[in-house]
């Protein structure tokens, strides 16, 4: 019995050695993948899920609240790849009157058509959310001023902050230097070279883009870009990602890049 077992073990070992030897490249690849996975899993070794940055999509009645369903996921993928921020790849959707709204201090609202006014509950909840630390990125997917989505958005912002209208964000605004140094707004289209926003106590709580940022970010599950970026092509798409990352970084760090220690470096690079 012992000799038979020894023989069997020897055969298995020799067979394995032959298999490994013949497929050495394959096994090296497998080992690399495992190591890479280990490395990746170390990096994502965070605490609870809400400690990670979550791309929360604002869901609202009427209109089309999610014209670019793959945009957020791709932006999060890029965010993880490019920065030290821990983020969840999967996005969530949340309503403004949802009790869970305050689990997600960053909110993305998009659309391509007019929508009915928010309820009073949604308005009051959203106002509280923004005043106490939340950030809302609004992305107009068609980029037509005073039409459709833009018309509804301006109307709702007026209801939120009657005395604080949307204002053009200057190029010196922290959102243009929170990670990448940018000098204008980008997106799938170049409707406006600037962003607009509502600023409360030195913090821009609403950032409004009319260049279809989501369109530039969107990639389908097969790995192809969903929308063509015009007029700048792939360079413009890269810039749109940079702006998206800057907006997330601004939401997470506020006016950190306005601190005195950063100014000489940034001024030197902008010259």
Q: In this complex, which beta carbon is closest to another protein, that of residue 148 or of residue 244?
A: 244
Q: Provide the edge-to-edge strand list for the sheet that holds 203-209.
A: 92-95, 56-59, 106-111, 135-140, 203-209, 196-200, 167-168
The verdict on 254 binding another protein (CB under 8 A) reads yes
CB of 48 to another protein, least distance (A): 3
Give strand pairing partners of 56: 92, 107
Rg over alpha carbons for the chain, rounded to the nearest Å, is 24
The candidate with the shortest Cα–Cα distance to 244, out of 64, 66, 110, 60, is: 110
Select the residue interacting with another protein from 129, 149, 217, 227 (CB under 8 A): 129
Largest CA distance in the chain: 91
Measured CA to CA in angstroms, residue 193 lies from 66, 162, 189, 212, 258 at distances of 24, 25, 10, 12, 22
Task: Assess contact for 77 and 26: CB atoms under 8 A.
Answer: no
CA 49 to CA 155: how far, in whole Å? 34
The verdict on 183 binding another protein (CB under 8 A) reads no
CB of 52 to another protein, least distance (A): 8
Select the residue interacting with another protein from 173, 177, 192, 237 (CB under 8 A): 177
Exposure on the CB side of residue 73, measured as CA atoms within 13 A: 13
Site pattern 17..56 for another protein (x: CB under 8 A): ----------------------x---x-xxxxxxx-x---
Q: Which helix (H) or strand (E) holds 236?
A: helix 233-253
Site pattern 188..227 for another protein (x: CB under 8 A): ---------------x------------------------
Q: In this complex, which beta carbon is closest to another protein, that of residue 1 or of residue 42?
A: 42
The verdict on 81 binding another protein (CB under 8 A) reads yes
Q: In this complex, which beta carbon is closest to another protein, that of residue 17 or of residue 265?
A: 265
Site pattern 56..75 for another protein (x: CB under 8 A): --------------------
The verdict on 266 binding another protein (CB under 8 A) reads yes
CA 182 to CA 204: how far, in whole Å? 17
Binding residues vs another protein (CB under 8 A): 39, 43, 45-51, 53, 81-86, 99, 101-103, 105, 125, 128-129, 132-134, 177-181, 203, 238, 242, 249, 251-257, 259, 261-262, 265-266, 269
């Amino acid at each position: 019995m012992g000799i038979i077992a020894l023989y069997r073990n020897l055969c298995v070992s020799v067979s394995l050695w032959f298999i490994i030897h013949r497929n050495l490249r394959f096994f090296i690849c497998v080992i690399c993948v495992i190591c890479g996975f280990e490395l990746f899993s170390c990096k994502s070794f965070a605490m609870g899920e809400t400690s990670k940055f979550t791309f929360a999509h604002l869901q609202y009645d009427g209109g089309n609240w999610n014209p670019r369903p793959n945009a957020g996921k791709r932006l999060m993928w890029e965010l993880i790849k490019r920065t030290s921020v821990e983020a969840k790849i999967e996005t969530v959707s949340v309503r403004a009157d949802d009790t869970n709204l305050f689990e997600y201090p960053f909110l993305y609202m998009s659309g391509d058509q007019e929508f009915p006014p928010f309820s009073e509950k949604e308005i009051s909840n959203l106002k509280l959310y923004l005043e106490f630390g939340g950030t809302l990125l609004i992305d107009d997917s068609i980029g037509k001023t005073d039409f459709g989505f833009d018309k509804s958005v301006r109307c709702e912002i007026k209801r939120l902050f009657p005395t604080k209208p949307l204002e053009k964000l200057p190029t010196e605004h922290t959102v243009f230097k929170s990670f990448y140094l940018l000098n204008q707004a980008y997106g799938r289209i170049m409707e406006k070279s600037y962003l607009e926003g509502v600023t409360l106590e030195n913090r821009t709580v609403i950032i409004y883009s009319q260049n279809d940022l989501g369109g530039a970010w969107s990639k389908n599950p097969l790995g192809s870009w969903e929308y063509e970026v015009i007029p700048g092509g792939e360079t413009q798409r890269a810039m749109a990602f940079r702006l998206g990352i800057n907006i997330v970084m601004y939401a997470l760090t506020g006016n950190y890049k306005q601190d005195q220690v950063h100014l000489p470096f940034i001024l030197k690079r902008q010259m």
